[in-house]
Chains A and B, each alone.
Chain A
């Protein structure tokens, strides 16, 4: 086994480890931010500043009894959370997290920071994200409960509707960069306009970015679009009948999906690891990347605790009558501009 292969394996392992941790960190961050916004402390008893709270949560969930309703479909009930979390992890496979680096001169040849570099990376992320809906739908159906079923139905309808706007807003960025490889899209955003404004696509695609973020919130079933688990109407939605580890996998998948959404938004709209030249010089480009992802994740949580939930029909009419047409117009205008100036 040569060194290059070993290093690549190490990077993949590290990204996997960080994704697992991301869900724990996000749980804590969510509760801390929520506490701050509601003028209370949030978790603060377990460990300093409540830092060990996620660990305590996990231990509690592991100790709980695993229940399965008698009428539930045995196989699909078990398969659903596994599918959910697998799709969430796999979606990150083609997301690059930093520029080529030699790890401060430790390696002879530079390696690419990221699990895999595929020339259709954007599409791979999109394909695997769209597979995530199966976990939720199957969980809803196999539980044999009306609340779960309603949650599953809502999830599938919502995800189908918002995937369109999501994909169309991505297509505009692909047109600008002229490549389906995420790494190439990021590298197309290197440098500055007039030495001040970074060449990020968010400045060329402000509407596309807003559509992407809104559709991303809907895709990950976060408030204000968290209808699949709307408490007032559906108890807990698709995961009502779940307990213990099987239950824990659903929120974990949700938090990893959030991280993936933010990472992709950073790569495609916010210039990825470009933007802080000082860090680039020292081979710390991934710090820039992490800062941007963290900012987007904070925005996610911020939105959740500020905006009240919509009504279900409002969500549907908003998705089909406003978001999707807006993304199509955005794509057409982008295509026309690219055609007029570049070719």
Chain B
């Protein structure tokens, strides 16, 4: 019983924080709320007996990626997203774009609902006969990642490498290297 209560509390926190991320006008607050949302998700993973996934979530998202977000927001000293003139004239503010976005959002909600109903029909958890013990075992997780999903894993790492090289090329100043 208490598990159910904790589950709904944490999910409520995650959803509420995520909703506020969009609602905030101050980018700094958005970043902090996103971290709170990640924290709630990590707590949910712990409740599902997957401490490794929870810790990985915190290390990668809350500990590394969001620090970079914060860093960028601070470096750019992003202003409050108030109704400044440049903001009103922003191409994304046009009517057509907004409508397109609304349609996409509605589609996403429908898709999510459909996926949830589909999943309810499956008995076995994703990943074959993985039970709670296997999910929490780092060894098993590594085996699945490097044996069954080896190609996807390597392809993802190459993708990230390409993005990294691209970022360096974009950031590098023009002209001969000093």
Report if A and B associate in a common complex. yes
Pick from A103-111, A119-127, A332-340 the stretch touching chain B. A119-127
A141 at the interface (CB under 8 A from B): yes
How many Å lie between the Cα of A12 and that of B76 in the bound state? 43
- In angstroms, how far is the closest chain B Cβ from the Cβ of A227? 15
| Alpha-carbon distance A88/B56, docked complex (angstroms) | 19
Contacts of A79 in B (CB 8 A): 32
Stretch at the interface among A3-11, A30-38, A153-161, A322-330: A153-161
Contact B68 A73 (CB under 8 A): no
Give Cα A124–Cα B51 distance, bound, in whole angstroms: 9
CB distance from B15 to the nearest CB of A (A): 21
| Cβ contact within 8 Å between B74 and A137 | yes
Q: Output the least CB separation between B146 and chain A (Å).
A: 13
Report chain A residues within 8 Å CB of B75: 153
| Beta-carbon contact of A133 and B55 below 8 Å | no
Say whether A180 contacts B138, CB under 8 Å: yes
Q: Are B58 and A127 in contact (CB under 8 A)?
A: yes
Q: Does A215 contact B (CB under 8 A)?
A: no
- Would A127 and B59 count as touching, CB distance under 8 A? yes
B62 in the interface (beta carbon within 8 A): yes
Q: In whole angstroms, how far apart are the Cα atoms of A138 and B74 in the complex?
A: 9
Given the known interface contacts A137-B67, A156-B67, A159-B67, the answer about A123 and B74 at a Cβ–Cβ threshold of 8 Å is no
Inter-chain CA distance A130–B75, complex, in Å, is 20
The one of B28, B56, B68, B136 in contact with A123, judged by C-beta atoms closer than 8 angstroms, is: B56
A131 with B62, Cβ < 8 A, contacts A123-B55, A156-B67, A160-B67 known: yes
Chain B residues 29-45 with CB under 8 Å of chain A are 29, 32, 35
Q: Is A118 an interface residue (CB 8 A)?
A: yes
A153 adjacent to B35 (CB under 8 Å): no
B58:A131 contact, CB within 8 angstroms: yes
- The residues of B that contact A237 with a CB separation of less than 8 Å are none
B7 within 8 A of A: no
Among candidates B32, B58, B62, B63, residue contacting A76 with C-beta atoms closer than 8 Å:
B32
- CB contact between B136 and one of A119, A126, A163 (< 8 Å): that residue: A119
A134 within 8 A of B: yes
Q: Does chain B have a CB within 8 A of A152?
A: yes
Give CA–CA (A156, B72) in the complex, Å. Answer: 11
Q: How far is the CA of A93 from the CA of B6 in the complex (A)?
A: 21
Contacts known (A131-B62, A137-B74, A149-B74); A119 close to B51, Cβ less than 8 A: yes
Contacts A127-B58, A130-B59, A134-B70 known; A76 to B28 CB distance under 8 Å? yes
Residues of chain B at interface, number, CB under 8 A: 21
Asked if A127 and B71 make an inter-chain contact with CB atoms under 8 angstroms apart, the answer reads no
Question: Which residues from A are CB-within-8-Å of B29?
Answer: 75-76
Contacts of A142 in B (CB 8 A): 28
* Residue in contact with A131 in the complex, picked from B52, B63, B138, CB distance below 8 Å: B63
Q: Is the interface of B mostly helix, strand, loop or mixed?
A: helix
Given contacts A118-B51, A127-B58, A133 and B28 within 8 Å (CB-CB)? no
Taken together as a complex, chains A and B put the C-alpha atoms of A118 and B63 apart, in Å, by: 19
A138 to B31, CA, bound (A): 11
A260 to chain B, nearest CB (A): 15
Query: Which A residues touch B51, using CB under 8 A?
Result: 118-120, 124
Query: Cα distance A131–B63 when bound, in Å?
Result: 6
How far is the CB of B123 from the nearest CB of chain A, in Å? 27
Closest to A73 in B: B28
Bound-state Cα–Cα, A156 to B74, Å: 10
**Residues of chain A with a CB closer than 8 A to B102's CB:** none
B135 to chain A, nearest CB (A): 12
Chain A contacts with B in 36-72, Cβ cutoff 8 A: none
- Rounded to whole Å, the gap between the CB of A56 and the closest CB of chain B is 36
Q: Is B59 a contact partner of A123 (Cβ separation < 8 A)?
A: yes
Structural contact, B35 and A134, CB atoms closer than 8 A: yes
Tell me whether B67 and A123 are in contact (CB under 8 A). no
CB within 8 Å for A153 and B59 given contacts A130-B64, A134-B35, A134-B67: no
10 contacts between A and B (CB under 8 A): A75-B29, A79-B32, A127-B59, A128-B58, A130-B62, A130-B64, A137-B71, A138-B32, A153-B75, A180-B138
List A residues at the B interface (Cβ < 8 Å): 73, 75-76, 79, 118-120, 123-124, 126-128, 130-131, 133-134, 137-138, 140-142, 149, 152-153, 156-157, 159-160, 163, 180
Which 5 pairs, one residue from A and one from B, show the smallest C-beta to C-beta distance? A130-B63, A127-B58, A123-B55, A127-B59, A127-B55
- Known pairs A76-B28, A159-B67 / 4 extra A-B pairs, C-beta < 8 Å: A120-B138, A123-B55, A123-B56, A141-B74
